[in-house]
Structure 1
Amino acid sequence: MMFKNIRTRKREAELKKLVAGYKVHGHPFSTNTRRVLAVLFEKGLSYEPITVDLQTGEHKREPFLSLNPFGQVPVFEDGNVKLCESRAITQYIAYVHSSRGTQLLNLQSHETMATLTMWMEIEAHQFDPPASKLTWELVIKPLYGLKTDQTIVKEQEANLEKVLNVYEKRLGESKFLACNSFTLVDLHHLPNIQYLLGTPIEKLFENRPNVRKWVGDITSREAWKMACDQDKSWFGKQRK
């Protein structure tokens, strides 16, 4: 028992050290950065924000490229561990802190693990492509003074509608997409959904009762509200 307590205290000390050392290089308005912030807040974890100025293209040149040669935010640092790709980062945090905060990984069996993984792939390969393009055209472009391409909007709206038809059926069988509890699958959808709710695309979510309820449930989570509110405290520190 004594050795178990020593191991437990050692593990707790290691986790505290890890938390204190977390750095997120990104931008609070970035969909991918917000995805990572949401997981951190669901787990009750702190982090050091390091701003990467996307408007000036800082992510496309050194020294940022030494962190991520693909020139995309965010980059997550945990000591010697440096990760890019927001979905990989969220899984890392959820695994490391599996016993803390919201249980975002349902790995009770091979079946539940496979279902969770399947729906994460669906989000990444079916939902995200049209949703990201719509966010770019309807939200980001206007912020930069660029003209929205309505041809692309129409095409991607049709693509997203097909995905949401599948979601409507699934959410009639399950409270959330992977299972009956909130997981990384649902969280991964949040950034694009939040931006699209302020556009004409909102009707695609509103017109589907099961999807509408699901969207209401996930966007009202306190951790997500905190992730969306980080612009107020983020910009105090620039990248070194």
Structure 2
Amino acid sequence: MSYISRLSMDCMKMLLNLLPNRKCTAELKNIGYKVHGHPFSTNTRRVLAVLLEKGLSYEPITVDLQTGEHKRDSFLSLNPFGQVPVLEDGNVKLCESRAITQYIAYVHSSRGTQLLNLQSHETMATLTMWMEIEAHQFDPPASKLTWEQVIKPLYGLETDQSVVKENEASLEKVLNVYEKRLGESRFLACNTFSLVDLHHLPNIQYLLGTSTKRLFESRPKIRKWVDEITGREAWKMACDQDKSWFGKQRK
């Protein structure tokens, strides 16, 4: 669980009261963020999605994962755990994609897509709960399935079908809960698109190109939800490397 999501509601309100000046200063100077990552990385795409939903400028800096650049001293000075992405915002340096998305969403709470609902203790708690469910229930099997079926073949490695079978069984249990939830709410945390839904996008997008796709398509409410969130323009752009990464700095 990220540090930000553990803040008390009172501390959160204090933070939000400080945000307008921080936001205006950044936009007045037209300072963009620096994103150290890789366009095919699920965690990097998660950060790109929130930046694009907010219409923010950023400078993409490629970290070559195949050559192990993320394990070299130059990158370890940014993230000692040797993982992408890293966000630089002036003197602020952040790792962990979900912490980064929360930071951006809080700082730019009044800009672009409203990705957080902090109107009450209850709504904040529900949002935080579903972000934790994604991180601890959905992501472990989904990430393993993405690794086995998408990433390993890119490296010329053989997919372990026993691992696929095991993690599909785990993912099905999670999706059964999601199917019930989506019968009560248009999106997972509430009736509007939020960080909760956005956090699911990278793994879902990759898994739609594998045999695991059937687990999403066989559940009507999940299928509808997946179609809606993957169809968002910001997400389409996040997946388009020519526009989101290798092009000019986004404005």
Tell me if TM exceeds 0.5.
yes
Q: Secondary structure at the match of 1:77?
A: strand
From 160, 167, 176, give the equivalent of 2:187.
176
* Structure 1 segments unaligned to the other structure (5+ residues): 1-7
Distance in structure 2 (CA, Å) of the matches to 1:188 and 1:102: 14
**Stretches (4+) displaced over 3 A:** 8-13
AA of the residue aligned to 1:139: V
AA of the residue aligned to 1:107: L
Q: Secondary structure at the match of 1:20?
A: coil
Matched, 1:39 2:44: no
Q: Secondary structure at the match of 2:105?
A: helix
1:28 paired residue number: 39
CA shift, 1:230, in A, is 2.5
CA shift, 1:12, in A, is 5.9
Q: Secondary structure at the match of 1:133?
A: helix
Are the structure 2 counterparts of residues 15 and 232 from structure 1 closer, same or farther at C-alpha, using a change threshold of 3 Å?
A: closer
Q: Tell me the matched-pair count.
A: 231
Q: Secondary structure at the match of 1:63?
A: helix
2:13 paired residue number: none
Alignment root-mean-square deviation, CA: 1.9
AA of the residue aligned to 2:218: N
CA shift, 1:130, in A, is 0.1
Q: Secondary structure at the match of 1:106?
A: coil
Distance in structure 2 (CA, Å) of the matches to 1:73 and 1:10: 29
AA of the residue aligned to 2:177: V
The answer to whether the 8 A contact 1:51-1:235 is kept is no
Are the structure 2 counterparts of residues 9 and 193 from structure 1 closer, same or farther at C-alpha, using a change threshold of 3 Å?
A: closer
1:186 paired residue number: 197
1:204 paired residue number: 215
Distance in structure 1 (CA, Å) of the matches to 2:240 and 2:49: 11
Matched, 1:51 2:62: yes
**Cα displacement string for residues 159-202 of structure 1 (whole angstroms, at most 9, x for unaligned residues):** 00000000000000000000000000000000000000000000
From 108, 118, 129, give the equivalent of 1:118.
129
CA shift, 1:15, in A, is 2.5
TM-score by length of 2: 0.88
Matched, 1:104 2:115: yes
Distance in structure 2 (CA, Å) of the matches to 1:72 and 1:221: 27
Distance in structure 1 (CA, Å) of the matches to 2:22 and 2:146: 41
Are the structure 2 counterparts of residues 12 and 82 from structure 1 closer, same or farther at C-alpha, using a change threshold of 3 Å?
A: closer
TM-score by length of 1: 0.92
